Amino acid sequence: MLKGNAIIGQSGGPTSVINASLAGVVEAAKQVDNIKNILGMRYGIEGFMAENVIDLGREPQSAIAGLKQTPSSALGSCRKKLKDEDLPLIFEKLKKYDIRYVFLIGGNDTMDTICRIEAYAREHHHDIIGIGVPKTVDNDLFGTDHTPGFPSAARYMALSVMQAGILARDMKKVDQFVVFQCIGREAGWLPAACALGKQDPADAPHILCMPERKFDKTKFLADVKRCYDTNGFVSIVCGEGITYADGTPVSASQVRDQFKNVEFGAMGGTSAAMMLHQIIHQEFGFRGEFQVTESLPMSAADRAVQLDIDEACMCGRQAVKLASEGKTGLMVTLVREPGKVYRCTTGTTPLKDVAVHAKPMPDEFINAEGNFVTQACLDYLRPLVGELPNYTRLNYQKFNV
């Protein structure tokens, strides 16, 4: 087993439970004799390159334990796209700080980062163990049943659409529609989760626009008209990354980040929700609202699911266990056991596979019309999100004089 220091980094967008994974790594690493010091990258790999390194081993145990209830990324994050010319500098810092264990908590791009670093170090005869810990509210990581951070974000969105749907129902004489936008470039997991609060056909949401299905304006307007005629108002949830048949984003955004991903609604541009609002208003003259939650479901600790916290911590601990066994080049995964009662264990998948694949919703989770989810999808989601409130409904019996 390699002997040296361990370093931990967090990358990409945060979640309300990403720090629970950090706590899991730190707590487990303290029990490994061959890990001399537990270090942290301040602001991810970008901070490591600038030698912005902290000593996590000197943090009080109460602070590490408190991370499990603390949102956002305690170490600070970055969205740096590694270039080939960055690798020699990173390699130099690995040797300078005697790093033998690298744990990065993040999504697809983060797994690509650690995969490249581990391979470069191996090629240059400095063995390190690199293990990825999954994180993303989008739930689009390949190889895992779900990702830590998704259940809490899904609960946030389900509650928001459910509660705002009651408001929309009661305010339908003022506003005839509302559009909610969920984060997630290529996967509709969060829009799908919004359906969990629907207890009656008239309840919100009525229409889901998911990136897995191309946006058809004519069909969309027909769905809006049908729902309005039936309910007197329309609740719509869209993914930020919905596109037309030719691949053009509904948001009309052309801005891209360092990883060549479209920045939906960035730099003063429009959002998908804003565009859907305009489409509905122009066609029907309806008054309505649009809500773009952006980072709110990524940081709402008050709506975090305890199962999510526990599983995030479990993934961090399992990463250290794998490293202590000499395994490398892997990402920890969550494996749902078969059966009616929800149980989850951990597994692994190669980092190189996660880096190049995404996990959209399967076809059997989307209805034939492409505008809502199926029962199979709800069955998958419900144990992750937990019980939702059951709000009172009046009978509205008319008083006769």
* Residue 188 DSSP class: -
Q: Cβ contacts of residue 70 below 8 Å, gap of 6+?
A: 19, 301
Structure tokens at 41: 């990258």
Distance CA 267, CA 54 (A): 33
Determine whether 200 is exposed, middle or buried from the number of CB atoms within 10 Å of its CB (0-12, 13-18, 19+): exposed
> Which sequence positions are flagged as catalytic?
138
Which of 151, 190, 134, 47 has its CA nearest to residue 382? 151
DSSP string, 277-334: HHHHHHHH---EEEEE-TTGGGT-GGG--HHHHHHHHHHHHHHHHHHHTT--SEEEEE
Tokens matching residue 378: 């709800």
Q: Cα separation of 104 and 69, whole Å?
A: 20
Residues 180 and 293 sit within 8 Å (Cβ to Cβ): yes
